[in-house]
Chains A and B, each alone.
Chain A
Amino acid sequence: MDTILASLPYLLEPSILIAAMIGVTWGILGGAMPGISPSITMALLLPFTYTMEPTAAIVLLASTYIGAEYGGSVPAILIRTPGTNAAAATVLDGYEMNKQGKAGLALGISLYSGFIGSMIGLALLMLLSKPLAGVALAFTPPAYFALGILGLSVIATLSGDSLVKGLIAALLGLMVATVGTDPVTGSNRFTFGSSDLLGGIEPVMIMVGLFAMSELLAQASKRDDINKIRSRPKIEFPGRHLAKRLIRPQLLGAGIGSFEGVMPGAGGTIASFMSYNEARRWSSKPDEFGKGSPEGIAAPETANNAVAETALVPLLSFGIPGSNSTAILLGGFLIHGLQPGPMLFQRSADVISGLYAGLFVAIVGMVVMGLAMLPICIWMVNRPRPYLNAFILALILSGIYSIHGSLFDVGIMLTAGLVGFFMRILRFPFLPTVLGLVLGYLVESNFRRSLVLSGDDYTVFTNDWISLGLLTVAALFIAGSIIKRAAAAWRRDERAAFSEGSEG
């Protein structure tokens, strides 16, 4: 309660209000550009913060992060291109709703869910920082490995009608994740002497290729039956009935998002996929998922927005950045001579209170800016297909180039697009690929780290109770979905499984 009261006066501080609004607007713009990740968006602002007053500088950077995490969902829904990694799960139902002419509602749901996720995240950050920080400390390498496996178990339900194909697709992602520097020895793997591959392949390149580029190729391949449905350029918020239905996925998303945000290294992408999966499992209408379910937008969007707030827990409490974005925020603190860590709360309590107030303003600002900008975005995607698609291609070529200023990266994205196009033709789902790509490094490095720790004793995974618990849950998930598949095959009925990426 004291935390809230201490933050109240800062709500009227003009420098904080301005920093929060500029930050969140800039963040939405950056997040909405494919290839421009939240961390790049923040990094671009970093030099401007040198001359700013510390609290305003931190608020500016943190608001940018929040805006960017939200902004990623806009192109995910409108042009099937996740603007940020964490928006990949939103593509599924968001783009389907758009195809049905409900882009306004889809964007409304993502904005409204993002608001709820952010507010829950902020409340947890303000009130429960201490106990949440304890959760981060409780996770040892075996527990991280188990968390990664739990994430991978989602593949079983994202695979569409053939589990074998889903697993092949996932392995493809896992294989791409092994390119680059080995996590234990530091030697190079699968780099073929190219210095462009030393740092590994950024997931966003593959995602933009698989989703956006392959969609452009697929639309070019069937130019006669271009679908003509257009959405009205107006944002709609869900009515009372729908809002009630969205409560469950939003709570699931907020819970999973807040948890994953606290864990350094876990991140928004895993959170949004897991909450998507859970929302589907607990939904009264699971069949709608993948065909334009509003719940399928609400869950991941609540989750990845909650991550943006709770990711500040390990940063503020230990000075440990869990992601690239929070690393930049750490830089912002250090530039102003502030050392995040246990002492920050005592020494610079004013900065913390100001930050909390700034985040609150930024979250409200996110809704205001969203309402102002989104109708223009819908209008833009309603332009005739040839022009729209030409512009999207130009946009993603520019966006991917911006990551490292490298045409090699653009080549990787184009190759991923080609692979994605053939995966569509051969009816392979590509969500498992994305999941494998995102989780591959986490799983492998923590598996090997655990074994180094234990001296090759495999019981390390069962002796740690968190690891044991998570692995058991993962095993139950996998067994459950296999039994379901077997039962369905036995009855030979048409299963209502969905398959993202099949030609459709």
Chain B
Amino acid sequence: MYRSCLLAFSSAVAMFAAAPLQAQEYPVDTVTLVTHSSPGGGSDVFLRELSRYLGPILGATVVVENVTGGSGATAMANLAQSPADGSRLYATTPTFIYTSLLSNPEYSFDDLDPLVNFFIDPEVIFTAASSPYETLEDVIQHARDGRGRWGAANPASLERQSLELLKAETGVNAAVVTHEGGGDLMINVLNGTLEIGVGEIQELKGQLEAGEIRLLASLTSDRIEAYPDVPTVQEAGYDVFVRKFRGLAGPQGLPDDVIAAWERAVPEVLALQEYKAIYEANSLRAEFMPNEEYQAFITEFATETEEFLRSTGVIE
């Protein structure tokens, strides 16, 4: 249904694409990046921003298409049946692994080939500015003494998994409450119903700048550059960290010249000053992974997730 936005958008992109010199020829003229996020959603806004800078470097018109429904199952089915010539690619987030494992759809992540990775979204643990908790340890101690109330945005998600892992690692008694998205979670953290919540910095920016919430720890392997004072959970002594990736996948059997074109273009885009300013303001961490590395990463990620879901009895 978004064809008109697509057309309009591709013309907008064409405008951008026309200006700088065409660096190299991409095998096809138009690349469609498919997202399962609806227009205006997090992944959608991210992709549209990215496509603006990607077009000239890749040497093709880049458009974004929203194939919503079934938490990504519809998009995966759509992609798996698309031609493997690099003209249609799927914007991956951990959601596509979760949906594949939880819902067992006809086409799953196994039917797609991971291409390259762009970013890792840092996940952080936050609390209301008015809460008494100053460090992660305060929160854990509170849960140890009685019962903790922790919140994640969605039922089966990386955020929930990270809290369940933290709970298992610390061995405390905590309720992990799930919500219908980050907004819902934020309200319950702000009004003190929950002690902590987990989210991406990008989503928390408004409250963070206004000083309504406080970051306690990051769920990353290293400290986040923009927030050097926030310790990682690992520093606090609990071996929990997650990697919320943002990359691309395509139908199986992508040709080598397509893979090569992306492996060349992505580091270039990430190095663009103009784009860098935008993604760094959103605390996205550039983490380019070439094709082989990304394939291995996705396999490992899927295995870990499957293990988690199996051990908790969510799937058989």
Contacts and interface: CB of A to CB of B under 8 A. Distances in A.
B40 interface: yes
A182 interface: yes
- The winner among A334, A340, A402 for most chain B CB atoms within 10 A is A334
Nearest to B203: A319
Contacts of A141: 177, 188, 193
Given A322-B183, A453-B149, A43 B209 contact: no
Contacts, number: 172
- The winner among A39, A181, A195, A327 for most chain B CB atoms within 10 A is A195
B206 A47 contact: no
A444 to B, nearest CB: 12
A304 to B, nearest CB: 21
A35 to B, nearest CB: 10
Interface residues of B, number: 60
Given A199-B69, A343-B210, A186 B45 contact: no
A146 interface: no
A240 to B, nearest CB: 44
A452 interface: yes
A459 interface: no
Interface stretch (A132-140, A213-221, A352-360): A132-140
A209 interface: no
A186 B156 contact: yes
A406 interface: yes
Contacts of A445: 180
A45 B4 CA distance: 9
B70 A196 contact: yes
Nearest to A409: B69
Given A185-B314, A186-B98, A321-B183, A449 B156 contact: no
Nearest to B155: A186
A324 B8 contact: no
Contacts of A51: 12
A184 interface: yes
Contact of A453 (B12, B77, B105, B175): B175
A191 B105 CA distance: 11
In the complex, the 10 A-B pairs of residues with the closest C-beta atoms, listed nearest first: A331-B40, A341-B206, A186-B156, A342-B210, A186-B155, A320-B183, A319-B206, A198-B70, A195-B73, A43-B39
Interface of A: 39-40, 42-48, 50-51, 136-141, 181-188, 191, 193, 195-196, 198-199, 264-265, 314, 318-322, 324, 327-332, 334-335, 339-344, 402-406, 445, 449, 452-453, 455
6 contacts: A137-B191, A141-B188, A186-B154, A318-B190, A320-B183, A342-B209
